[in-house]
């Protein structure tokens, strides 16, 4: 890739896993899909454009070119094509500040990335691509605040768990229509690996996956990513905001761990390592995420002195999940992060001078357990019976299945006096607002080390979907039981789909939760549901009665 910078000045199915303040966005941006081409032999931008991983001086641009009609994602077909990219200060591209070229080849599934640097911090830019005289849709992106600046605030859209077959991606459309976001944080399960009619069952499927079978090979993963990026609402989201993404299990296979997955059969579905390598290659090709030499997504982004964003990979290095009710969840030899990543996280947290420590974790860190007893009875009884010392965990795929890592991390926060740590989570297909207690059995008498905001799914099944009942039929009872057994859980919504908007200032971090009217309705509306915040220095969440304006 060659580039020419013209700027001179700096500017997440193991367990059941919120319209908004909207701003006017040009129809051309929201309808980001490429128009039909008069010449079918000409290159086409059928998968939109995207940007991601914003830095104070740069951003990553992405697109995929279809050079010929037969060059479908995963096909391996199609000639190389030269792609020109340009980035400007205005939508009309009268003030172009950087441009360059790249080659779209079959080896990279005809995807293209341009890591543009030398830009001004906290600045909006417009970008587009050209191939064979055909111009792509236009995208808008934004750089991060300068690393040493006192940024007055940052605002992220927050999403996870978008299952193509379960519904339409209207939460993406509503986030795309907002002009007040610095970026969108995607916390995993951007795609799902299942074959069609598997999850949900065929009779509940809204639209069908491609390929129809469960994805295993590189071609399969590429095809699935390509199908997702034909969705108009997803294209609109990518065209409107830079994305900061991490993966969870379904980018690979359900309940993935370092040596396998619940949804992987060795032999019948090949070698696990080969499947992972294929999934990762396709992910880095198709996502606006900087490719890591370590083949992982854990990394750190800074948003001025206001916040450091620590992003985790909780699939590549984890031990195999323990059985539900097994005392093995407390085994210190088992890890969800792996030693190197946990040390990296601890070092980054203690070494940061930012006002807020935001941690993107694909699975929930707050304990959710039943059978909890007072601490003086629980620990000895658990030792005798071989049970988890913090109660019977509901979901051993999340941090509850790896309690030693969680204890070490929370102890690090408390021992080092690290305050204002907020975990941002997806995976569980429900919305939660939690304190993260040092000792859950004695909370609220014991301290809270951090807080956690969990967003619900974009479309993936939650409680009412799994039970096929009307929303609220059983969830009030279930939510009450969860909260009674886990007093650090301040709120849980088990029924709705939607997204969150996180607003961070020096004084507080607030999550506004939004829900959509019907995941099966391509025109679903969105409405604000609830808001929770944590005030600086408190390590506790509290309800607020209106969203941030």
Sequential DSSP letters for 406-440: HHHHHHHHHHTT---EEEEE-SSSSEEEEEEESSG
Cα(457)–Cα(190) distance, integer angstroms: 10
- C-beta neighbour count of 114 within 10 angstroms: 25
d(CA 225, CA 221): 6
Please count the CA atoms within 13 angstroms of the CA of 476 that sit on its side-chain side.
4
Q: What is the pLDDT of residue 13?
A: 35
pLDDT of residue 253: 98
Question: Is 154-544 the same fold as 2-11+23-142?
Answer: no
Q: CB neighbours of 376 closer than 8 A, spacing ≥ 6?
A: none
- Please report the pLDDT score of residue 388 as a whole number: 54
Residues facing residue 526 across a β-bridge = 516
Residue located via tokens 């090949």 = 270
* The pLDDT of residue 370: 67
- Which residue do the tokens 């993107």 mark? 360
pTM here? 0.91
**Exposed, middle or buried by CB within 10 Å (0-12, 13-18, 19+), for 470?**
exposed
Tokens of 26: 């040009």
Distance of CA 67 to the CA centre of its chain: 30
User: What is the phi-psi region of residue 479: left when phi exceeds 0, alpha when psi lies from -120 to 50, beta otherwise?
Assistant: alpha
Residue in 324, 205, 199 with CA at minimum distance from that of residue 254: 199
The CATH-assigned architecture of domain 2-11+23-142 is Sandwich (2.60)
pLDDT tens for the chain, residues 1 to 549? 433 333 332 233 333 333 332 333 333 444 444 444 457 779 999 999 999 999 999 999 999 999 999 999 999 999 999 999 999 999 999 999 999 999 999 999 999 999 999 999 999 999 999 999 999 999 999 999 999 999 999 999 999 999 999 999 999 999 999 999 999 999 999 999 999 999 999 999 999 999 999 999 999 999 999 999 999 999 999 999 999 999 999 999 999 999 999 999 998 999 999 999 999 999 999 999 998 777 899 999 999 999 999 999 999 999 999 987 788 999 999 999 999 999 999 999 999 999 999 999 999 999 988 654 444 444 544 444 444 556 677 789 999 999 999 999 999 999 999 999 999 999 999 999 999 999 988 899 889 999 999 999 999 999 889 888 888 777 788 888 888 889 999 999 999 999 999 999 999 999 999 999 999 999 999 999 999 999 999 999 999 999 998
According to DSSP, the residues that pair with 156 across neighbouring strands are 183, 502
How is the chain split into domains, by residue range? 2-11+23-142, 154-544
Query: b vs e for 181-212, b when ≥16 Cβ sit within 10 Å of the residue's Cβ?
Result: bbbbbbbbbbbbbbebebbbeeeebbeebbbe
Cα distance between residue 1 and residue 57, in whole Å: 19
Tell how far CA 429 is from the center of its chain.
13
Give, to the nearest 10 degrees, the angle between helix 272-286 and helix 218-228. Answer: 30
DSSP state of 260: B
Q: What does each C-alpha distance from 241 to 50, 54, 58, 112 come to in angstroms? A: 8, 10, 14, 18
DSSP E strands in 239-362: the ranges are 243-245, 299-303, 307-311, 356-361
Within 148-198, strands assigned E span 154-159, 183-186
d(CA 415, CA 445): 18
CATH (one of 3.40.50.1000, 3.50.50.60, 3.60.21.70, 3.40.50.620) for 154-544: 3.60.21.70
């Amino acid at each position: 890739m060659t580039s020419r910078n013209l700027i001179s000045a700096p500017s997440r199915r193991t367990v059941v896993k919120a319209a908004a303040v909207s701003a006017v966005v040009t129809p051309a941006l929201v309808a980001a899909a490429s128009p039909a081409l008069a010449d079918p032999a000409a290159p086409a931008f059928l998968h939109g454009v995207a940007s991601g991983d914003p830095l104070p001086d740069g951003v990553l641009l992405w697109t995929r070119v279809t050079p010929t009609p037969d060059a479908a994602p995963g096909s391996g077909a199609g000639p190389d094509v030269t792609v020109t990219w340009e980035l400007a200060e205005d939508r009309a591209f009268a003030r172009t500040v950087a441009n360059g070229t790249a080659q779209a080849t079959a080896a990279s599934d005809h995807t293209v990335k341009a890591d543009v640097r030398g830009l001004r911090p906290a600045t909006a830019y417009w970008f587009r691509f050209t191939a064979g005289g055909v111009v792509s849709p236009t995208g808008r992106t934004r750089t991060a605040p300068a690393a040493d600046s006192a940024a007055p605030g940052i605002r992220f859209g927050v999403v996870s768990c978008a299952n193509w077959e379960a519904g339409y991606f209207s939460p993406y459309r509503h986030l795309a229509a907002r002009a007040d976001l610095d970026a969108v944080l995607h916390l995993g399960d951007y795609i799902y690996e299942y074959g069609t009619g598997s999850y949900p069952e065929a009779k509940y499927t809204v639209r069908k996956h491609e390929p129809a079978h469960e994805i295993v090979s590189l071609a399969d993963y590429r095809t699935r990513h390509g199908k997702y990026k034909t969705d108009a609402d997803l294209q609109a989201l990518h065209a409107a905001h830079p994305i900061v993404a991490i993966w969870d299990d379904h980018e690979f296979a359900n309940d993935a761990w370092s040596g396998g997955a619940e949804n992987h059969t060795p032999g019948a579905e090949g070698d696990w390592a080969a499947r992972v390598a294929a999934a990762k290659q396709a992910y880095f090709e198709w996502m606006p995420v900087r490719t890591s030499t370590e083949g992982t997504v854990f990394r750190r982004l800074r948003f001025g002195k206001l916040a450091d964003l620590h992003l985790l990979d909780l699939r590549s290095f984890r031990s195999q999940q323990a059985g539900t009710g097994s005392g093995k969840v407390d085994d210190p030899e088992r890890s969800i992060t792996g030693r190197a990543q946990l040390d990296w996280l601890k070092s980054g947290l203690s070494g940061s001078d930012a006002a807020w420590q935001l941690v993107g974790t694909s699975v929930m860190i707050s304990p959710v357990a039943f059978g909890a007893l007072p601490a003086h009875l629980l620990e000895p009884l658990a030792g005798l019976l071989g049970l988890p010392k913090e109660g019977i965990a509901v979901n051993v795929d999340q941090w509850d299945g790896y309690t030693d890592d969680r204890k070490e991390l929370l102890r690090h926060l408390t021992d080092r006096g690290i305050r204002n740590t907020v975990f941002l989570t997806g995976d569980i297909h429900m919305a939660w607002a939690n304190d993260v207690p040092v000792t859950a059995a004695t909370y609220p008498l014991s301290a809270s080390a951090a807080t956690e905001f969990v967003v619900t799914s974009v479309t993936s099944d939650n409680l009412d979907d799994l039970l096929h009942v009307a929303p609220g039929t059983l969830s009030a009872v279930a939510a009450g039981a969860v909260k009674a057994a886990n007093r650090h859980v301040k709120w849980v919504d088990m029924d709705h789909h939607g997204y969150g908007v996180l607003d961070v200032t020096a004084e507080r971090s607030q999550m506004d939760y939004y829900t959509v009217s019907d995941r099966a309705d391509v025109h679903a509306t969105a409405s604000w549901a609830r808001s929770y915040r944590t005030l600086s220095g408190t390590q506790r969440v509290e309800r607020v009665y209106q969203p941030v304006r």
